[in-house]
């Protein structure tokens, strides 16, 4: 596999994973900024700013942006997380120039006051609607409890109070610092023309400037908390457990992912057989999230309220058994194959590869072919999984229950 990479004079990096046999190409700007890089006063600005990037530039109105994406038949979107904001589009190869031009122009938003005031109402409505999505809401509540008082626990959407107080000037200052040319990069995948892309981006970003955009990657160890958030109107109890995990820079993240799949894949995992197959819960899943200098294991369960105490006891029992006894080789092998299959299915298109390529570069400054990543997962050994369990991550537990229950232990 041949990879492309160049750092322009202004500090902007462009990377690419070419696939001449593909029938499409994808492009995306990855910005190293999110809720983790905010303060309580401007919490939510990263996500709010993501919305504003679609509201127009000096060259385009909001209608122009949406119309042009439609004209080239793009599959496009953007998202903000605790640590990243990403803007992307996938198109036929003949529209490469237009999608790069459009995405690059969007990185220099107009941030018009009238658009800011209007979009603020949209963000506030989105925060209010979050209560209708208890699975996501309880995850935010649990993460905030786990990292209480630290930016890693800040809600990505912000709070009603922080968004109401936020000013256009604060957003502009945040954009000026965090969207500097040395704090974002452009990733390309699929059937693209590298030389054309480099010439185009070099010209379009000639006026971009570097800036100091630091991030404190030191992370607190997490807290032991059990908290109920009563919501009598909900029909189910939504439980979210958070435990310390493995960072994106630690090679043990491969074993951590395999461990999470073995214990909590939607089908065929330990939690599935203990909770779903007997009909005790409607959803029971475990996942691992690796981040900059830190990581977390999550367990999410939705169940009838009257079974809450039983479910909590079973989850803890499953995790305690894994810690005390380890996982047998055949169980690890099944989990490895599930991870590998999912990666291959996602990677069959340039659009599916874009995020994997981008985050490999964002966190590890590596460009690795899909085959190498799949082989690394398939090479995970029982000893590596045992080493993750030897950290005893499940002894530091945050548990938040959202639903009719008034208390949790």
Q: Which amino acids are annotated catalytic?
A: 50
Q: Which residues face 17 on adjacent strands?
A: 189
The whole-angstrom separation of Cα 277 and Cα 281 is 9
Q: Which DSSP category does 368 fall into?
A: -
Report helix angle 329-346 to 350-364, nearest 10. Answer: 110
Burial bucket for residue 342 (CB in 10 Å: 0-12, 13-18, 19+): middle
The DSSP-derived string for 149-201 is TSGGGS-TT--HHHHHH--HHHHHHHHHHHT-GGGEEEEEEES--HHHHHHHH
Query: Which single residue is written with the structure tokens 């090479």?
Result: 379
Cα gap 34→184, rounded to integer Å: 12
Secondary structure class of 376 (helix, strand, coil): helix
In order of 147, 151, 152, 222, the CA distances from 294 in angstroms are 11, 13, 10, 10
- For 194, counting Cβ atoms within 10 Å of its Cβ (0-12 exposed, 13-18 middle, 19+ buried), the class is middle
End-to-end CA distance of the chain: 52
Helices marked H in 277-398 — which ranges? 308-325, 329-346, 350-364, 370-378, 382-390
Chain-centre distance for alpha carbon 238: 21
- CA torsion 111-113-117-119 (nearest 10°) is -20
């Amino acid at each position: 596999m041949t990879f492309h990479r160049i750092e322009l004079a202004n500090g902007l990096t462009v990377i690419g994973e070419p696939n001449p046999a593909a029938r499409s190409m994808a492009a995306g700007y990855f910005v190293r900024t999110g809720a983790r890089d905010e303060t309580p006063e401007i919490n939510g600005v990263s996500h709010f700013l993501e919305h504003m990037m679609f509201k127009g530039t000096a060259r385009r109105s909001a209608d122009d942006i949406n119309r042009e994406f439609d004209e080239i038949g793009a599959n496009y979107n953007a998202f903000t997380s605790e640590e990243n904001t990403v803007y992307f589009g996938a198109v036929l190869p003949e529209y490469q120039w237009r999608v790069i031009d459009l995405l690059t122009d969007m990185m220099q938003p107009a941030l018009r006051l009238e658009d800011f005031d209007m979009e603020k109402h949209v963000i506030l409505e989105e925060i209010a609607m979050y209560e209708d999505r208890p699975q996501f809401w309880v995850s935010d509540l649990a993460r905030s409890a786990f990292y209480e008082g630290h930016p890693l626990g800040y809600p990505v959407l912000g709070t009603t109070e922080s968004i109401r107080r936020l000013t256009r000037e604060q957003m502009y200052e945040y954009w000026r610092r965090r969207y500097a040319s040395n704090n974002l990069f452009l990733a390309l995948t699929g059937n693209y023309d590298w030389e054309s892309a480099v010439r185009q981006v070099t010209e379009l970003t000639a006026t971009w400037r570097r800036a100091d955009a630091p991030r404190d990657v030191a992370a607190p160890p997490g807290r032991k908390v059990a908290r109920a958030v009563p919501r009598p109107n909900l029909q189910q109890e939504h439980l979210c457990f958070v435990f310390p995990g493995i960072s994106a820079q630690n090679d043990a993240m491969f074993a951590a992912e395999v461990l999470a799949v073995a214990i909590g894949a939607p089908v065929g995992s330990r939690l599935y057989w203990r909770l779903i197959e007997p009909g005790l819960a409607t959803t029971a899943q475990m996942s691992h999230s690796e981040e900059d200098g830190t990581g977390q294991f999550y367990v999410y369960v939705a169940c009838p309220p009257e079974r809450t105490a039983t479910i909590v006891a079973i989850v803890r029992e499953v995790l305690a058994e894994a810690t005390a006894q380890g996982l047998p080789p055949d169980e690890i092998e099944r989990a490895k194959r599930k991870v590998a299959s999912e990666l291959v299915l996602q990677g069959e298109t340039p659009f599916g590869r874009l995020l994997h390529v981008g985050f490999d570069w964002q966190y590890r400054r590596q460009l690795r072919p899909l085959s190498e990543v799949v082989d690394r997962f398939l090479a995970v050994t029982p000893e590596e999984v045992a080493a993750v369990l030897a950290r005893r991550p499940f002894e530091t537990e945050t548990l938040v229950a959202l639903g009719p229950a008034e208390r949790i232990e």
